[in-house]
Structure 1
């Protein structure tokens, strides 16, 4: 029924186009005719009464010729309307000249336009056009109400290319291989630029908490767009499909409208996430490591992240988008030992060219870093990072794509929520510490998809592509082995935190322009 209404509206518009053109043409014709008469009278001093019989006959013939054209176009449009409607809607009733037909409750007499002459032709054209316009508007309004009541918005659908890309990424990360998991019961906190809850794909999310570190607004918003894009990867429900759309979502805004934030502000947001009993904190952001490096840190954000991990919170962070300008290590706080640091991969399973490299051999300058051991080498894993379908807030379109390890981070955060739903014993509780996190990292190091020829950690490719299906499949058979590996791990050097001074640096989180829409490669 509703789609019949849509087709009807489309037919109205189709039939209306020639009418409007001829109505305008007729107005112009009459205006030029009157202007011509006035001009002739002004120059010659003659009026229409002074014209000879030939002039009057020619004028009548011209007028009859025009009316013939109007008659033809009216007959054409009625024939077209009847044929298309009969073909698609099954209405086979014949409409003859002189018969009254009803369109949206208004009767129109299909008559010979020639009989109506001047003013009547114009009235017929304009009146019929108004009828068609009103019918179309009414159809659209009814359709809008119908779709809105069903949680949809008329005319809003992402380009097919984005839907295809999303499905390809779900394939290479194993999302399409699992069923019955949607993040229910898992608390996930995103620290970013906020969230635009007016987006049609975010109407049904479980937004449980909001904290604005930047402007202290009590109501959710996003003046940069990055946070909405990242949230959509996890909880979108509509045009795009989030990985864990039913998680209990907490949003902390610590990134401003320029896509930047301070260590102290982001640290405050992380602390708030911990206070909300979050199982996972997703940090699609990064910057330079704090003074002290891997030996000790005076950086407020790194300290906040370490405190969260000590309380059993899984922290997922971006490796960084250094690309050819790589400084030799991943961004902070992804560099923190027990953080799950995520690089980027393409839809073909190749390393995304912008993904940052990890320094796992150790260094003394500029910030000391000890050699990293398995399963803590950076980055730990890679996930979708090239042209990842996301939600858009500052564009004529609601959908676009983002390239970067920010998207990779959100993808893994959503996948981890599915794992915690399947295995509740790994969720955070009052007795939680970092033990479960270490177990998860061992699972990741042994059950991610390595590239051809890879047998151990790679400074770019990590332990491989994140695959949630492999992680779940390996859980039961590997559980006892994981505990043994944790007990025999080499104990890391104890870090001392010296609160001698506090530095404040800016962390940048950004996405491509909101209108970044490209065709499939």
Structure 2
């Protein structure tokens, strides 16, 4: 019996069995209530904001994304349309950002009126998908020149997959995007319990690395941690459309956390359309639920768990200078190259993202890379199946 590629992706993305049918989709999206989304939507829905999703493409046939997806571009295989999605990852991420809820039956995005610019950075074949860093670099520059305000990168490449030349080009692309006023967010990775490698682009100066928290707003063990983590968002027990079959499945990952953080940024930006990415990020950092112990930024949740309602509903947070990225001074001399302590340590215990009183009010995170390893062989029922795993923050 041969397992299909799409079925294999369920395990790669950390997906669990579909949630019980008796539970409504709205109930499964626990983080929306925690963040007081309904109240925020009375003020801001992300209208007027475009989020560039650098991923596997976006399937425009998804009911939740009807009329929301722009033309975009495939930066790895230019002859192919970015509005298709071979494995569903980019589509799932886009739903978490801007899904319309599909009449209450589907995923509701945190910024339901935002638009999605799909930029494909992962190839659909073994040959085109071996190294997607060049595609990522080109996609960042494409997004920087587009009308998109937010660049969502629910992906993570461990330091050993990015050579010195690529790292330099990647940083220059990030610098260019920041100079154009964009806000860049990337998943920290999902290998926190094993290698805990430094990952890019989360570790690039000017990019906000996002780790994941669970429903108790505690940092997840799977999230990569270190000085490259800026914020945390919900990333565990997050419903997404199942891969290779009908229905919706629970999932986990810093990919999901990054998407939810991008949705939060869209709500804030839509309320303050004259701000730029530096200012939106600064407010997100100032209003985040701070760690209850240890230094700030924390290795696990950075400056804290996102709480967009503090700005959307209460106007808290100072935007500060539009010309200064709040991360560049903090990261000066930071993780531009791996060190043994950063890439391998997992010493302290995960920290809570906020105090008990704050936990009732919100903050989420989620996103994590999928490690696609060539040559993995699955043996089931006497059949062999060869599949390719790529680095993705799911």
Shared fold per TM-score greater than 0.5: yes
The answer to whether residue 137 in structure 2 is matched with residue 254 in structure 1 is: no
The answer to whether residue 183 in structure 2 is matched with residue 332 in structure 1 is: no
Give the deviation of 1:246 after TM superposition: 1.7
Question: Residue 300 of structure 2 aligns with which residue?
Answer: 460
Question: Residue 111 of structure 1 aligns with which residue?
Answer: none
SS in 1 for 2:33: helix
SS in 2 for 1:444: helix
Question: Residue 68 of structure 2 aligns with which residue?
Answer: 206
What do residues 391-427 of structure 1 show as CA deviations (whole Å, max 9, x unaligned)? 2352132x22221100101111111011110001114
The answer to whether residue 251 in structure 2 is matched with residue 383 in structure 1 is: no
SS in 1 for 2:53: strand
Change (3 A) 1:260 1:456: same
Question: Residue 39 of structure 1 aligns with which residue?
Answer: none
Change (3 A) 1:474 1:454: farther
Q: Distance in 2 between matches of 1:214 and 1:229?
A: 20
Judge conservation of contact 1:173–1:465 (CA < 8 Å) in 2: no
Looking at secondary structure, tell me which structure has more strand per residue: 2
The answer to whether residue 264 in structure 2 is matched with residue 415 in structure 1 is: yes
Change (3 A) 1:301 1:167: same
> Any stretches of 5+ residues in structure 2 without a counterpart?
1-18, 337-371, 374-389
SS in 1 for 2:72: strand
What do residues 462-515 of structure 1 show as CA deviations (whole Å, max 9, x unaligned)? 2221111123356466356999997xx689479x9xxxxxxxx9961164xxxx
Question: Residue 469 of structure 1 aligns with which residue?
Answer: 309
Change (3 A) 1:286 1:468: same
SS in 1 for 2:262: helix
What do residues 26-73 of structure 1 show as CA deviations (whole Å, max 9, x unaligned)? xxxxxxxxxxxxxxxxxxxxxxxxxxxxxxxxxxxxxxxxxxxxxxxx
Q: Distance in 1 between matches of 2:167 and 2:295?
A: 36
Q: Distance in 2 between matches of 1:210 and 1:158?
A: 36
Question: Residue 186 of structure 1 aligns with which residue?
Answer: 49
Change (3 A) 1:257 1:388: farther
The answer to whether residue 217 in structure 2 is matched with residue 349 in structure 1 is: yes
Q: Distance in 1 between matches of 2:142 and 2:323?
A: 31
Q: Which has the higher contact order (CA 8 A, sep 6+)?
A: 2
What CA RMSD, in Å, does the superposition of the two structures yield over aligned residues? Answer: 3.4
The answer to whether residue 274 in structure 2 is matched with residue 425 in structure 1 is: yes
Q: Which has the larger radius of gyration?
A: 1
Q: Distance in 2 between matches of 1:264 and 1:484?
A: 27
Q: Distance in 2 between matches of 1:481 and 1:202?
A: 35
Question: Residue 391 of structure 2 aligns with which residue?
Answer: 508
What do residues 101-157 of structure 1 show as CA deviations (whole Å, max 9, x unaligned)? xxxxxxxxxxxxxxxxxxxxxxxxxxxxxxxxxxxxxxxxxxxxxxxxxxxxxxxx9
The answer to whether residue 302 in structure 2 is matched with residue 449 in structure 1 is: no
Q: 1:265 aligns with which of 135, 138, 141?
A: 135
Give the deviation of 1:384 after TM superposition: 1.1
Judge conservation of contact 2:189–2:393 (CA < 8 Å) in 1: no
Judge conservation of contact 2:311–2:317 (CA < 8 Å) in 1: no
**Aligned ranges for residues 208-247 of structure 1 at < 5 Å?**
208-215=70-77, 216-218=79-81, 220-237=83-100, 238=102, 239-247=106-114
SS in 2 for 1:380: strand
SS in 2 for 1:425: coil
Give the deviation of 1:316 after TM superposition: 0.7
Judge conservation of contact 2:223–2:253 (CA < 8 Å) in 1: yes
What do residues 206-248 of structure 1 show as CA deviations (whole Å, max 9, x unaligned)? 2222212233224721111111110110121212211112223
Q: Distance in 1 between matches of 2:91 and 2:155?
A: 14
Q: How many residues align?
A: 312
Judge conservation of contact 2:291–2:298 (CA < 8 Å) in 1: no
Question: Residue 25 of structure 2 aligns with which residue?
Answer: 163
Q: Distance in 1 between matches of 2:210 and 2:175?
A: 17
Q: 2:153 aligns with which of 283, 287, 303?
A: 283
Change (3 A) 1:181 1:327: same
Q: Distance in 2 between matches of 1:408 and 1:338?
A: 18
Looking at secondary structure, tell me which structure has more helix per residue: 1
Q: Distance in 2 between matches of 1:189 and 1:327?
A: 27
Judge conservation of contact 2:211–2:223 (CA < 8 Å) in 1: yes
